Structures are given as C-alpha cells and as structure tokens.
Amino acid sequence: EVQLVESGGGLVQAGGSLRLSCAASGFTFDDYAIGWFRQAPGREREGVSCFSSSDGTTYYAGSVQGRFTISSDNAKNTVYLQMNSLKPEDTAVYYCAAVRFLCPVVRGTSQPEGMDYWGKGTLVTVSS
C-alpha cells in the first residue's frame, strides 16, 4: 500500500523557516517523482515544488523560487521541503504527492492532476 505522510507544519512568524518532511512507503522510491503542493482556503491546489528521482530534475513555482528548497534522502525514502523567508501568503495546507518517473509539469509548474498518490497534508500558518 502506497503511503505518504507529511510532517513539520506549524505556526511561524513572517520571515521564519520551516522544514516539511514527506515519508514515503509502499513503492520503489527511486522510480517516482515526489511533489509538494499547497491549498489555501478558497483557492485551488497549486504546485509548489517537484523532484524527479529518475533524472534529478527539480521544479519550483515562481512564488517560492529562491525561498524554498526540495531535497531527497533516498536511504530514508523521505523528501523534504525547506521553506525560508516565509510570508503570510504561504499559509496553506501542504501536501506531498507521488507519480511514477517524472514530475507532471506545465510551463514550469507541477500539476496536481498529474499525481497519483497523496498524503493527508500538514498545515502551515504564517503570521504577519
């Protein structure tokens, strides 16, 4: 059974940092792309970052470029999202998701509809 479990969310002041973790199990980690997505109240789910283990490619949404960093520890089957210089507009539920091989990207942004497996999410709240 495929499982994705996010952790690391919480409340932080603007300008602060958080690191999210996504622990994966039930599939061959090296064959999958893992992405981070977020959904704020009243808004559609959007791609934040994505990492393809098969070719090492990473993608970032323009709104987080330079502030967020995705990384992978293949030995632990875990993908991280380091979030720095957080802004109130980063407040959302953050989800990790997986799909075989490559990140589904359109114009540089990973697409939620292209992912096959999802975690339950972790809430990030950035106060001003």
Give yes or no for residue 24 having a pLDDT over 90: yes
Q: What is the pLDDT of residues 79-109, one digit of tens each?
A: 999 999 999 999 999 999 999 999 999 888 8
Contact by Cβ (8 Å): 2, 25: yes
- Per residue in 75-85, is it b (16+ CB within 10 Å) or e — as a string? eebbbbbebee
Q: What is the pLDDT of residues 53-67, one digit of tens each?
A: 888 899 999 999 999
Q: How far apart are CA 86 and CA 44, in angstroms?
A: 20
pLDDT band, very low/low/confident/very high, at 30 (cuts 50, 70, 90):
confident
Mean pLDDT, rounded, for 11-16: 98
Q: How far apart are CA 28 and CA 89, in angstroms?
A: 34
Please, what is the average pLDDT of the chain?
Answer: 95
Give yes or no for residue 15 having a pLDDT over 90: yes
Pairing of the two strands 78-83 and 18-25 = antiparallel
Query: Which ranges of the chain would DSSP assign to H, the alpha helix?
Result: none
